Structure 1
Amino acid sequence: MATKTLTRGMGTFFKECEHPESRWSKCPHPYKIRYRDATGRQREEAGYATQDKAKARLNEIYQAKKGPLKTGNTEAQEIAEMRFEDFAARYISNRKRGLESNTIEQYELGLKAHINPHVGSRRVGTFTPGVIEDWLNGMELNKVGLASQKNAFLVLKLVVDAARHRGAIASDPFLDIARPNYVPNEVIIPTFEELNAIRDAAEDDLRLVIELMSGCGHRNGEAHAANMRSIVADDVYRINEQIHSNKVQPAPLKHRKRGEFREVPLPRKTHDFFSYFTDTYGTDKNGYLLVKGNGSGNQHMQHYFYGKQTLRWRWDRCLERAGVEVKYTMYSLRHYFASNCLTHGIPITDVAEWMGHKSIEVTYRIYRHLVPGSITRAAKILNERL
């Protein structure tokens, strides 16, 4: 197998076929390239249709290893020499004015848990596809969940792209990198009988959370921000806040800015328990139900305020008292809400809006199996007019 070598350090390109080198330009086989990445590891890539494309790719990799192009851009040079963790902290801090607090928290958590421990000390200008691949492989070896991998990937790409757009990285290190593909596991949903047993076994404060999640589709944090003023009609509840497990103050909803909300159906049974809880325990001066202490509204639900671990413990004890052997999570109550809607013919577009999903694709991917007969039903309905 013959090879052609470019300038020292740039790598080689070749073909693995029986045709002589002189006929490479006319034979149908693709070119391969071989080079050493920034860590010194030898790598190969295939699938280049022409010599020019193979050379262009080798040149791109070479420029990436050299760092930013010498354009006289002092900002680019400064960023290229910075440690990644320092540039990321500065970049996220500068963006706080345009992002909600829960989004900032997600970025900072991804950096702290999955990015900085592995590439935080690396100079920004030295990021290459090989570095990204090694980082992804490291997360897999450490058995990081796919959802966390996906979120960390998005944060790393956000910061690295910001540096590249400022000229600190010569070429895109994410070129041809496949992002982690997170597909949620098939949901498990309590039966109606199991839900009733769980309701009966729960203390009143936990019961209110259960009612809102299974009856209205609340998330955990949204249910803990239960407020009497959110009932805007006898059958409509307006969700406009959530409580974080590590904070005591209400925050904007996931995927929404402060002041934005979504309105959801309020079933009579859920409304009745809401009224019972309010009559029995009252509210604080701001209308919140799940508060503790002196009723000032500054501390929401002791078992949530002290952490999700405590909430999980209470939930597990509730399942034990109810005699439910399946290890449902509290999120299974949201699945119950979606199932109840879809199996009774409510359009999936409405369900997606009520659950607060970022796009209907999320709802469809998770709950499509709950409406397996939709095409058959549609065929029968359409046939009536044909």
Structure 2
Amino acid sequence: MEELLRRRVYVDQRAGEVTLEAYAVETWMPSLDVDAGTFTAYERYLRLHILPKLGRKAISQITASDVKRLRAGLDGSGQSKEAIMATMATLMQAAMDDNLRNDNPCHARSVTRPKQLPPRAIKAWTPERVQAVIRALPNRFQRLGKMTAGCGHRPNEVIAVSPVDMDRERQELIVQRQLKWVRGHGWCFALPKGRKVRRTPMPMSVENELDAQMREYPTVKVTLPYYDRRDKPAERFRPMTVELIFSREAKGEIKFINPKRFNEWEWKRALVDAGVIPAPAREKRGEYQAARDDGPVALRHFFATAQIDAGESVVDVAAWMGHANPLVTFRRYVRGRVGAGDRGRAATDILLAGVITAAKAVWNRKAV
């Protein structure tokens, strides 16, 4: 049997009884060691796309033709298709590792492999648009917009900022939590995307705005479950209380900002008032025009491009943004700059001027 395992031709006799749905739900998902966002994405791809078509089939009986039919039936963008097929391939690889299959049908020659699509290039807002949208927000949320544009937080990170995150001595903000929607549990506190606790510069202007926010709108202590997939089951969703800088008022109570409600109402109204999207026929939930490229994350994109245009290192900006690696930052934000070449020409002129001057001095000495 050891030789069969080594050659990957041994298949557990139970494989013919285990359906894809049973394996995915009972074995694969509970064993995943990924961040909350990735886990939620896997769960969604399985529930909406993979299991409805292949869930009842024995995992050992899934063929390359099944995989090709799955791919052919997928709608949506290239990004989502590749993510779904990558999930299927990962699931089949796990089944191989558990000796439920001796091959991965997603890697058959006749099957199109999932493509690693490059990050989409970002077209950043102009400073004028940033200012117009922030001014159009209700007063209570304007400093939230200023902080995002000035420090580069993700939308669900900025609404979870606490006074304890302000390192005034080093003029930095510690990004150590976000609000995360967890199916079956609602809004929870969680680590930032990728479990990356990081620091980002806190300009004096942002520090002053945060102090002004706390003077005008007192902080609020919020208790929510804390979610971390890596915690033991008994320790998941334990209560956590955090003092938040940004809040909203609802029916006379001060509460944390619901990201979905903020995006659908306050943010969309600001886009309309700033002339970014047209006004809806009726001011009703779901009536506003979709604005994929103009969500609150546009302020984060503005921060990244502003830092790079100011000469900051892509490596440093990647660390401040919490990106997986600097290549992601480079592909999204580095682009041709108006006046490109001016600094290079000036440096070359200075360098050559020095070389020519030195050469003339040597020539004059020889002439004497």
Same fold? TM cut 0.5:
yes
SS in 1 for 2:106: coil
Unmatched runs of 5 consecutive residues or more in structure 1: 1-67
Task: Select the residue among 127, 144, 152 that pairs with 2:84.
Answer: 152
**Cα drift, residue 381 of structure 1:** 5.0
Map of 1:44-59 to 2, 5 A cutoff? Answer: none
Q: Which range is displaced more, 221-230 or 191-200?
A: 191-200
Task: Select the residue among 192, 213, 216 that pairs with 1:277.
Answer: 213
Q: Which residue matches 1:89?
A: 25
Q: Which residue matches 1:202?
A: 137
SS in 2 for 1:89: helix
Calculate the TM-score normalised by the size of structure 2. 0.72
Instruction: Tell me, in whole angstroms, the C-alpha distance in 2 between the residues paired with 1:250 and 1:371.
Output: 39
SS in 1 for 2:21: helix
Query: What amino acid sits opposite 1:127 in the alignment?
Result: I
Q: Does 1:360 align with 2:326?
A: yes
Q: 1:134 to 1:368 in 2, by over 3 A?
A: farther
Q: Which residue matches 2:268?
A: 316
Task: Select the residue among 121, 128, 131 that pairs with 2:63.
Answer: 128
**Cα drift, residue 148 of structure 1:** 2.2
Query: What amino acid sits opposite 1:287 in the alignment?
Result: E
Structure possessing the higher relative contact order (Cα contacts under 8 Å, 6 or more residues apart): 2
Query: What amino acid sits opposite 1:107 in the alignment?
Result: Y
Unmatched runs of 5 consecutive residues or more in structure 2: 1-7, 222-241, 279-290, 356-368
Deviation per residue, 1:222-242 (Å, 9 max, x gap)? 111111110112621110111
Map of 1:369-384 to 2, 5 A cutoff? Answer: 369=335, 384=351
Task: Select the residue among 227, 252, 255 that pairs with 2:191.
Answer: 252
Instruction: Tell me, in whole angstroms, the C-alpha distance in 2 between the residues paired with 1:287 and 1:145.
Output: 39
Q: 1:154 to 1:188 in 2, by over 3 A?
A: same
Q: Which residue matches 2:295?
A: 329
Q: Which residue matches 2:312?
A: 346
Q: Which residue matches 2:103?
A: 171
SS in 1 for 2:272: helix
Q: Which residue matches 1:3?
A: none
Q: 1:292 to 1:198 in 2, by over 3 A?
A: closer
Contact 1:278 1:289 in 2 (8 A): yes
Instruction: Tell me, in whole angstroms, the C-alpha distance in 2 between the residues paired with 1:132 and 1:248.
Output: 35
Q: Which residue matches 2:158?
A: 223
Contact 2:89 2:104 in 1 (8 A): no
Contact 2:263 2:296 in 1 (8 A): no
Deviation per residue, 1:72-95 (Å, 9 max, x gap)? x5xx23234322111011223431
Contact 1:91 1:159 in 2 (8 A): no
Instruction: Tell me, in whole angstroms, the C-alpha distance in 2 between the residues paired with 1:172 and 1:298.
Output: 53
Contact 1:187 1:332 in 2 (8 A): no
RMSD: 3.0
SS in 1 for 2:200: strand
Q: Does 1:288 align with 2:244?
A: yes
Task: Select the residue among 180, 194, 197 that pairs with 1:261.
Answer: 197
SS in 2 for 1:249: strand
Q: 1:192 to 1:373 in 2, by over 3 A?
A: closer
SS in 2 for 1:174: helix
SS in 1 for 2:73: helix
Contact 1:219 1:334 in 2 (8 A): yes
Contact 2:152 2:304 in 1 (8 A): yes
SS in 1 for 2:83: helix
Q: Which residue matches 1:242?
A: 178
SS in 1 for 2:167: strand
Task: Select the residue among 111, 116, 136 that pairs with 2:51.
Answer: 116
Q: 1:100 to 1:375 in 2, by over 3 A?
A: same
SS in 2 for 1:255: helix
Aligned length: 302
Instruction: Tell me, in whole angstroms, the C-alpha distance in 2 between the residues paired with 1:84 and 1:298.
Output: 46
**Cα drift, residue 364 of structure 1:** 1.6
